[in-house]
Chains A and B, each alone.
Chain A
Amino acid sequence: MSKKQRSRYSLGYLISQAFKSLFRNGMMSVASIAVLMSCLTVMGSFALLVYNINYNLDQLGSLNEIVVYCDTDLSDEDVDAIGRRVRLMDNVNEEAVKLITKEEVLIEERQKYSEFTDLFDQMDQSGVNPYPDTFVIQYEDNNKVSALQMELEQIEGVHKVQCRADLAETIESLKNSIIFIFMWFLVILFLVSVFVIINTIKLAVHSRKQEISIMRYVGATRWFITTPFVIEGIIIGVVSSGIAYAIEYFLYRTVYNAVSVNYGMIDIVPFGELQNVLLIGFAAVGIITGIIGTSISLSKHLKA
Chain B
Amino acid sequence: MSKVEEFVDVVVVGAGHAGCEAALACARLGMKTVIFTVSIDSIALMPCNPNIGGSSKGHLVREVDALGGEMGKNIDKTFIQSKMLNRSKGPAVHSLRAQADKADYSRSMRRVLEQTENLMIKQMEVAELIVEDHILTGIKTISGAVYHCKAAILCMGTYLKARCIYGDVSTYTGPNGLQAANHLSDSLIRNGIQIYRYKTGTPARIAKKSIDFTKMEEQKGDETIVPFSFTTDPQSIQKEQVSCWLTYTNEKTHEIIRENIDRSPLFSGKIEGTGPRYCPSIEDKVVRFSDKARHQVFIEPEGIHTDEMYIGGMSSSLPEDVQIRMYRSVPGLEHAQIVRNAYAIEYDCIDARQLKLSLEFKEISGLFSAGQFNGSSGYEEAAAQGIIAGINAARKIKGQEPFLLDRSEAYIGVLIDDLVTKENHEPYRMMTSRAEYRLLLRQDNADLRLTKKGHEIGLIDDYRYQKLLRKEKEIEQEIHRLEKTYIGAGSRIQDFLSSLGSFGLKSSATLAELIRRPELSYDLLADIDPERPALPKEVTDQVNILIKYDGYLQRQLKQVEQFRKLEKRSIPETINYDEVPSLRIEARQKLKQYQPASIGQASRIAGVSPADVSVLLVYLEKERQRKKHE
The judgment on whether A and B are partners is no
B residues with a Cβ closer than 8 A to A are none
A residues with a Cβ closer than 8 A to B are none
